Amino acid sequence: METSEIKSTSYTVNKIKSYNQGSVKSNKPLIEIINLSKEFDGEIVLKEINLTIKENEFLTLLGPSGCGKTTILRILAGFVSPTNGDILFEGKSILNLPPNKRQVNTVFQRYALFPHLNVFENIAFGLRLKKKKDDEIVAKVKQMLRLVKLEGFESRNVNSLSGGQQQRVAIARALVNEPKVLLLDEPLAALDLKLRQEMQYELKEMQRETGITFIYVTHDQEEALTMSDTIVVMNSGLIQQVGTPIDIYNEPKNRFVANFIGESNIIPGQMVADYKVRFENQIFDCVDRGFHPNEPIDVVIRPEDLLIVDKDSAPLVGVVDSVIFKGVHYEICVIVNGREYVIHTTKSARIGDVVGLTVEPENIHVMEVEGVGNE
Amino acid sequence: MVKGLKLQHKIYLGLMFLFLYAPIFVLVLYSFNESEAMGRWTGFTLKWYNELFRNDTIKNAFYYTIVCAIISTIVSTIFGTVAAIGIYYHKKRVQDYVLNVNYLPVINPDIVTAVSLMILYISVGIQRGFTTMVLAHIMFSTPYVILSVLPRLQAMDPNLIDAAQDLGATPLQAVRKVIIPEIMPGIVSGMLIAFTMSIDDFVISYFNTSGGVTNLSIEIFNMAKRRVKPTVNALATIMVAVVVMFVFIINRIGSKKKIEYRLKEEEK
Amino acid sequence: MNRTIKSFLYPYAIWIAIMIVIPFFLIFFYSITQSRPDSPAIFRFTLKHYREFFKTENINILSKSVLLAVETTVLCLLLGYPAAWIIAKTKANVQNVILLLFILPMWINMLLRTYAWQVILGRTGILYTDAAVVIGMIYNFIPFMVLPIYTAITKIDKSLIEAANDLGANSKEAFLKVVFPLSMPGVVTGIVMVFLPAVSSFAIPRLLGGGQYVLIGNLIEKQFYLLNNWNFGSAISVILMILILISMRFMKKSGEMGGKGGAIPW
Ligand SMILES: Nc1ncnc2c1ncn2[C@@H]1O[C@H](COP(=O)(O)OP(=O)(O)O)[C@@H](O)[C@H]1O
Ligand SMILES: [Mg+2]
């Protein structure tokens, strides 16, 4: 996808900052997922997942397609029962509760709006089942329509709505039941880029306004970085890393996370001592410690953290191999000792130039080699 | 493609319709014929209608036909819909077993289905009559209801049921409030098939009733085997009139709906 | 989780076991047994009903039934295909009216319409001949041929025909090379839907062929109503079922089944 390339990271990080300013999170655990495993016909889909989800949190399950994200959501909602493990909701196991008894609502990937009901009745569906009074239903539905900016659409046929509007109805339909937790399964995947970005912002707003815990599933790392309080990176049924967007972005725990979260330069090296790392036959200062002396490690450097400098004073020297204009920045490829380094910068360079590269110590991220495993 | 129809195409269709409607025209025409012998027009009369309305055999047969059709349609529609939903929720293997058996009455010759059921009734010692006829009708119409409902279920977004339960519906509520409205067109067409087949059935009823209980098909068959009186024509004419009226009404409703729909579309 | 909904199937499963499966086995059972006249509860295994079926006179009845059904099917196809094609070519609003006119006669009792043919054919003098029976069957079953073919033709993507024209086919060639092959599923369904009732029909031959006229359906009816020979009647029924099974298999091979919901059992 061309567009996701532009996730020029400074932009992303700024967004993270602006979204998360001032949101105060309580630390009470709401959901505890304990040793959760799931097999489908002998195929292991989830392996001993452990995860705590706090009240008012915006938590994102991020991972490539097929890694088991939807399965976790469906287990939480009650559509699938796990092979092993337990789920505690406010300290009590909910595995034996049917979906209709759980204080959880879902926004389905393809919306799953009821085609035989209009917008109003779709949203009122849960309230009617609870046998609420008519005036209460009207009031609540109206309030929801205001929240999702669909006032005046009450009697519209859901099939006559655009994708974005259907999406809002799906959200309103779930939120009107005042669930403790809202599960969202790639809710924006079917929308076009511009609408998606708008909805990201609005969803985040809604979450803050309502104070409901959101568990959000996506395979789009930018979406995860922009919206979440906590990101859970998954791969093939395993949790790779749990952390804030900034943690995940800056301190990927392993190659998978580093690659999945964004384009990275990953270079093999050794830890010489605490705060000293060697790669490309140079010793660099860094901020990591606690490794064995001379332990082999991988070094991660984000493309925007590599700086092109004068070749005489630089620790790394290489030749510019390609320059691509990407809108906000240039993507420049420099070959150093036969290894490609990708650099994002606002200044262009000429192909064939010999340039120097440098990196600040806090931008050198050291991770264990083959660091695949659970938390 | 081609605008309008070429002359030879029009002629072809015209001949086809002549073939299809000639017998009906003959039936209607001779219901007003004075003479008892068909084929010779001797003058206009309504006496066969008079006779028809006083003919208890035909009145009885008519009554049984209608009541049997109504009962078997209602039962097989409900039964078939419920069964189809059940089938949909089972594994492929179970589905295959049930559907294979379900197909038997569909592809088996009617006469084989009919005699097999008759053997069952007689072997078990059930006196054949109205009840056995209704049961037989339910037996052969329900598979058609299932076959028209099941594709609707399969075309439905499976998340709809999850969504209903997610919003607090019990499984039964999900069926009532989401599945049934979703598959309604399938249910309606299944119902129409069931009704038509029951009204029109001859072979199955013929073998599975006795003791003075008949339906119109059986009566007509018995009359046609022997000497026929134009009372049958009078009956046929009434049927034609009912069918034409029915079609007319449906068409009116249909075109009204169409107009409403178009207006709605234009609003946008 | 959805055990409640799954249980919806069980009443029907019991129902079809009683009303479809057991009768099916009963017929089979009767076809291979004979009870003693003095004690009807004692059954003895025998294949004599099948042997009896293979007597010349019965084989003649079977082959005549198949022959007339084949004739009916072929004529329905020859007459019905052009009709389906012409209907598919008319404008949408006219199309619905024409289709309705096609279906309308089917809503009037089949026996009434057959009886009307008695009258018409009686005047031409071919009543109580093979031709009369075939005409009656064509009349009753031709909509089953036209409708599936019409459906198959309307489903053909118009751009395929345009593509054929674009590639140099004239309208005749486009029909032969594109429309006709793509309408085959409808043709197969039509053939099955005409052949099945035609081969086993007994009311039409009885009314248009006369009291002495016997096709396989009449032969079965006679065993149950006149001669009270259920065992032989069952044996004929089993043979008829097998015959139909084989022809369905054959048809399935020669084209994908459309219409009746797709799969053919067994
Ligand atoms: N009902 C099911 N039956 C069998 N396999 C399934 C089922 N649901 C999911 N899977 C398998 O589980 C794995 C994870 O699926 P899913 O949770 O949908 O992944 P994601 O949402 O991360 O793309 C996939 O390999 C998928 O094929
Ligand atoms: Mg998924």
DSSP string, B61-99: HHHHHHHHHHHHHHHHHHHHHHHHHHHHTS-HHHHHHHH
Closest residue, chain A, to C3 (C-alpha): A98
Q: Give the closest-approach CA distance of A138 to chain B in angstroms.
A: 17
> DSSP 3-state assignment of A43?
strand
* Other beta carbons less than 10 A from residue B14's beta carbon: 10
Would the pLDDT of A8 be above 50?
Answer: no
Q: Whose CA is nearest to atom 2 of ligand 1?
A: A40
Domains and CATH numbers, chain A: 11-256 (3.40.50.300), 264-302+360-375 (2.40.50), 307-358 (2.40.50)
What does the pLDDT read at residue A291?
85
**Which pLDDT belongs to residue B129?**
93
The Cα of B157 is separated from the nearest Cα of chain C by a number of Å equal to 16
Q: Is B157 in CB contact (< 8 Å) with chain A? A: yes
CB contact under 8 A, A100 and B178: no
For A141-162, letters b (16+ CB in 10 Å) and e give beebbebbebeebbebebeebe
Atom 8 of ligand 1: nearest residue by CA position: A71
Put simply, the answer to whether B160 touches A114 (Cβ < 8 Å) is yes
Q: Which positions in chain B touch C179 (Cβ < 8 Å)? A: none
User: How do residues B133-142 score in pLDDT, each as one tens digit?
Assistant: 999 999 999 9
B169 → closest Cβ in A78, A100, A113:
A100
Our answer on whether the CB atom of A72 is closer than 6 Å to any ligand 1 atom is no
Nearest CA to A283 out of A319, A312, A316 is that of A316
Nearest CA in chain C to A78: C1
Largest CA distance in chain B: 74
Residues 43-102 of B with CB under 8 A from C: 79-80, 82-83, 85-87, 89-90, 94, 98-102
Mutual orientation of helices B110-124 and C22-31 as an angle, nearest 10°? 90
Outline where chain C has alpha helix (H). 3-6, 9-16, 22-31, 48-53, 56-89, 92-103, 110-124, 130-155, 158-166, 171-174, 180-182, 184-200, 203-209, 216-225, 230-253
CB C261 within 8 A of CB B151: yes
B-C Cβ pairs (cutoff 8 Å, strict): 229
- Contacts with A95 from chain C: Cβ below 8 Å: none
- Atom of ligand 1 minimally distant from the CA of A73: 17
Q: Is the CB of A66 under 6 A from ligand 1?
A: yes
Nearest CA in chain B to C25: B116
Between B147 and A6, where is the model more confident? B147
Which of A45, A67, A216 should be mutated for ligand 1, with most atoms under 8 A from CB? A45
Question: What atom of ligand 1 comes closest to residue A71's alpha carbon?
Answer: 17
A247 class by beta-carbon count within 10 Å (0-12 exposed, 13-18 middle, 19+ buried): middle
Q: What is the pLDDT of residue B265?
A: 55
Average pLDDT over residues A162-168: 90
**Which chains contact C through at least 3 pairs of Cβ atoms less than 8 Å apart?**
A, B
What is the predicted pLDDT for the residue at C94?
Answer: 84
pLDDT given for residue B251 in this prediction: 76
What spacing in Å lies between the alpha carbon of A65 and ligand 2's midpoint?
Answer: 6
Give the model's pLDDT for residue C248: 84
B173 in A contact zone (CB under 8 Å) = yes
Q: Which ligand is nearest to the CA of B91?
A: 1
Mean pLDDT, chain C, rounded, equals: 87
Does the pLDDT at position A307 exceed 70?
yes
Residues of chain B with C-beta less than 8 angstroms from the C-beta of C197? 109-110
Over 60: is that where the pLDDT of A26 sits?
no
* pLDDT per position as a tens digit, A29-58: 899 999 999 999 889 999 999 999 999 999
Q: Are strands A181-185 and A307-309 parallel, antiparallel or unpaired?
A: unpaired
Q: Is the CB of A40 under 6 A from ligand 1?
A: yes
- Tell whether B243 is within 8 A of chain C (Cβ): yes
pLDDT of residue C124: 87
Lowest-confidence range among A271-280, A297-306, B251-260, C150-159?
B251-260
Q: pLDDT at position B72, please? A: 97
Closest residue by Cα to atom 6, ligand 1, is A40
State the ligand closest to the CA atom of A108: 2
Distance to chain C for B268, nearest Cα, Å:
24
C-chain residue closest to A100, CA distance: C1
Q: Which residue of B has its CA nearest to A101?
A: B168
Q: Is B169 on the interface with A (CB under 8 A)?
A: yes
Mean pLDDT score of chain A, rounded to an integer? 87
Q: Does B203 touch chain C (CB under 8 A)?
A: yes
What single string gives the DSSP state of each residue in C99-128?
Answer: HHHHHGGGGS-HHHHHHHHHHHHHHHT-TT
- Of the candidates B163, B173, B182, the beta carbon closest to that of A108 is on B163
Q: Residue C204 pLDDT > 80, yes or no?
A: yes
Ligand 1, residue A68: give the atom nearest the CA.
17
The ligand 1 atom at the shortest distance from the C-alpha of residue A64 is 22
What integer pLDDT is reported at residue A259 of this predicted model?
86
- For A328, residues 6+ apart whose C-beta sits below 8 A from its C-beta are A6, A8, A11, A346
Describe the strand order of the beta sheet including A365-368 as a list of residue ranges: A282-285, A276-279, A265-273, A295-301, A365-368
CB B127 within 8 A of CB C49: no
Please give the CATH topology (third level) of the domain spanning C63-262. MetI-like fold (1.10.3720)
Atom of ligand 1 nearest to the CA of A74: 17
Predicted confidence (pLDDT) at residue A18 exceeds the cutoff of 50: no
